[in-house]
Structure 1
Amino acid sequence: MTNKQELKDRLIQEVQNNEDELIELCSQLIKIPSENPPGDSTEITTFIDQYLKNVGAETSWYESTDKMYNLVSTIGEDKGGKHLIYCGHSDVVPTGDHSKWDFSPTSGEIEDGWLLGRGASDMKAGLGGIIYTFGLLKKLNIDLPGKLSLAVVPDEETGGEFGVPWLLENEIIDGDGCLIPEPSSRYNPTIGQKGSYWFKLKVYGEPGHGSLSPLAGNNAITNMIDAINEIRKLWNLHIEVPDEVKPLIEKSKRYMREVEKDREPFQRVLDHVTVNIGKIQGGTKSNIIPESCEIEVDCRLPFGITQDDVTAFLHEKLDALEIDYEISRFGFRSNANYTSADDPVCKSIVDNITHVAEHEAYGVMQWASSDARHFRNHNIPVLQYGPAYLPSIHGYNEKVKVEDIVRCCKVYIAAVVDYLYEK
């Protein structure tokens, strides 16, 4: 019988003793461009594949669409034990205007205790952590009483379908629990997330000479203004949060008050539908009455309202305006979802954050969306925990503290022991 605590302490010390190797791996990942779009993951997948082969792991490539590669590797044996998945995405958002960066977006350098570059926080440091954890367990030949799978996916940042959902729908990966090293705070993994409802609305009018407006034609832009005013009323809906998730909502509000204190004014996003009119386009010239106008809208849905509820609301309000319109969906689509804090995969991470960091830890809600929703749709409990400097995510000068990378990796490797050795 393996003494779990002794094994955990040994593995944590191995991470500590070899932290330079961990940080070098994360640095190398940042130095490889993997922006999505365009979404070509060839170079970074090749690098990770070689790293895993160097420690003796077998790998499988799956090309879900042109130049988007999923990489899967598994260690351990099927001895009737559990199967844990560690899953991370290799793609990053575009770097934007390089003149606004203080360093190269593909720097990968260490400066004053910070690892620099696009993906440092979202999520190449976290990805490096789970790859290193997987490789170290393989290299040390740890006899696991179950299986650990590593899945590296290429298509998360656009909400695409060629990463996690593709692997799950094609039954390439399956398991009893999953960790995604998405950026989080130091002591608060995300165990739930709001739903997503992205849509395009196109309103049609009738063109005419601008000098006759508003008596002539039918102005699509002014009709769109009326439509936008109705869409924004989603925020004002009173939503009954189900009793089962109220404790999670309250803990998350506490987190916004006490941890990310700059988020305190935004606590209401946890139980309201947020509405962002993100893009608008319409008309031809100032002297032509516009015959069409289109907007793109990002709504995030709390517990207590579904995508179908939002669709019904939109049609009711827009039909009442008696305008000619079309709605089409795109991007992220999901209802609010969560994993119980009492699930073994959540407990294994949260308990080991407390153990490694010697600090209270608890799970919270995420007000955005991620690949976690796909695992939950396939009845696989999942949570997210990764190193991050949250203000830098998706912005210029992205970075992450080296100490956070090391701490998270210690949690990852200790959690494998707790999860797989727990009957």
Structure 2
Amino acid sequence: MVNKQELKDKVINEVEACKEELVDLCSSLIKIPSENPPGDSTEISRFIESYLKKFDTEVDFYESADKMYNLVSSIGSEEGKHLIYCGHTDVVPAGNLEKWDFDPFSGEVKDGWMLGRGASDMKAGLSGIIFAFTILKRLQIKLPGKLSLTIVPDEETGGDFGVPWLLKNKIIHGDGCLIAEPSSPYNPTVGQKGSYWFELEVFGQPGHGSLSPLAGKNAITDAVVAIREIQKLWDIQITVPDEVKQLIHVSQKYMREVEKDREAFMPVLEHITVNIGTIEGGTKSNVIPENCKVEVDCRLPFGITEKEVTDFLHEKLGELGIDYKIRPFGFRSNANFTDPDDPVCKAIINNISFVTDHEAYGVMQWASSDARHFRDYNIPVLQYGPAFLPTIHGYNERVQVEQIITCAKVYAAAAIDFLYSE
């Protein structure tokens, strides 16, 4: 009879013994620029393929769009349960290099920190799942199920060429999924708010600026009035469904007691957030603008759908007497979650506690990620990965090296628990 505890101890000890290799792997990934846009994942995908093949691991390549490569590699048995490790290779652009205190593509380790663009989101987590995958292979652990490593190119722009493309084409499937996205050290995310990005276009009538407001119809001033109505989405009182009330409760506890700087943001879990992201309109200061476009990012809590939000917008904007159109784009989903008692959640949460000797529990994410796609296909999923959250998508992105190592231990141990469970 297999002793799971002995196997877990074995893989955890191996990660510890080879931790310098893990750190070097993470550093190497950061050194490869994989900014999206433009989204060319060729170099980093080929590097990962070469690394995996050192351990006699077969890798399947799927080019879902020009220079966007998905990698899938599996070990274990076709019998039994199937666990997916998932991560993305793309990172957001580094931006103004003069605002960085170090080279964003240096992959430098300094004072216990891994430095560079993608260190937290999510090359530290990506290196962790790759490394845990190879540890199980090199130790020749005979898994009673299947473990698949799925690496995708197109997460940061909310595109369709990564996880959704693989799921739609039936290339991946499973009984559970771990995404190595950044999280708190002890609090993986088991649910997330919905997302509704839309463009509001307001139409006016041009005329000479010297005759405004008596002549023409100003699209920009009409858009300003429309924005005021859009911002009222925050004020909608939403009833949280009973099945997620406990998850909301523990998530607010987390914001109040763990990430204490987030306490002021607790209301976002139960409200529609509204960000007026861009505005563009007009041609010259002396011409009454006939067109104005506004891009809006709304995040939807449990208890309201995209359709209900759209209906609200049409009702309010229709009362203004303006000429407008709403066009959805980018991230779009309703709020979604995985039961914290699902086996894949328990495997990760229990092993966070086992590895760190610290209480762990799942919480809500107030943004969106690839997790929603897995849930669309009824694959239970959660996110857990190393991160220094304040630096994600910002300048001087970094993550503690020790956290990279801890997460890799959790990944390897959780795979054993999940695949060996009934």
TM exceeding 0.5: yes
Counterparts of 2:224 and 2:112, CA distance in 1: 49
Q: TM-score, normalised by structure 1?
A: 0.99
Unaligned runs of 5+ in 1: none
Partner of 1:74: 74
Structure 2 residue 236 is matched with structure 1 residue 237 = yes
Tell me, in whole angstroms, the C-alpha distance in 2 between the residues paired with 1:321 and 1:102.
49
CA distance in structure 1 between the aligned counterparts of 2:348 and 2:311, rounded to whole angstroms: 39
Partner SS state of residue 383, structure 1: strand
Q: Which residue of 2 aligns with 1:54?
A: 54
Partner of 1:118 in structure 2? 117
1:39/1:67 contact within 8 Å kept: yes
Q: Is the 8 A contact 1:249 1:365 kept in 2?
A: yes
Q: Percent identity?
A: 71
Output the amino acid matched with 2:64.
S
Q: Which amino acid aligns with 1:40?
A: D
Corresponding residue for residue 312 of structure 1: 311
Deviations 1:98-150 (A, max 9, x none): 11111111111110000110000000000000000111111111100000000
Residue in 1 that maps onto 2:216: 217
Instruction: Give the Cα separation in 2 of the matches to 1:148 and 1:368.
Output: 28
What amino acid sits opposite 1:45 in the alignment? Answer: S
CA RMSD of aligned residues (A): 0.6
Contact 1:121 1:393 in 2 (8 A): yes
Matches within 5 A, 1:268-307: 268-307=267-306
Number of the residue aligned with 1:322 = 321
Amino acid at match of 2:14: E
SS in structure 2 of the partner of residue 132 of structure 1:
helix
After alignment, is 374-383 or 324-333 more displaced? 324-333
| SS of equivalent residue, structure 2 residue 267 | helix
State the Cα distance separating 1:10 from its structure 2 match: 1.0
TM-score, normalised relative to structure 2: 0.99
> Is 2:233 the partner of 1:255?
no
1:312 is paired with a residue whose SS is: helix
Q: Displacement of 1:319 after TM fit?
A: 1.1
Deviations 1:286-316 (A, max 9, x none): 2111111110000000000001111111111
Structure 2 runs not aligned, ≥5 long: none
What amino acid is aligned across from residue 179 of structure 2 in structure 1?
Answer: I
Q: Distance between the aligned counterparts of 1:236 and 1:285, measured in 2?
A: 36
Alpha-carbon distance, 1:216 to partner: 1.0
Residue-by-residue CA offset, 1:20-66 (whole Å, 9 max, x unaligned): 01111111000111000000000000000011111111110000000
Aligned position for 2:343: 344
> Residue by residue, what CA displacement relative to the aligned partner does 1:305-352 show, whole Å, maximum 9, x if unpaired?
001111111111111111111111111000000000000000000000
Counterpart residue type for residue 23 of structure 1: V
**Corresponding residue of 2:91:** 92
The CA deviation at 1:214 is 1.1
1:211 Cα deviation after fit: 1.5
Q: Distance in 1 between matches of 2:57 and 2:291?
A: 56
Tell me by how many angstroms 1:212 deviates. Answer: 1.4
Q: What does 1:199-214 align with in structure 2 at a 5 Å threshold?
A: 199-214=198-213
Partners of 2:97 and 2:206 lie apart in 1 by: 42
Q: Which residue of 2 aligns with 1:363?
A: 362
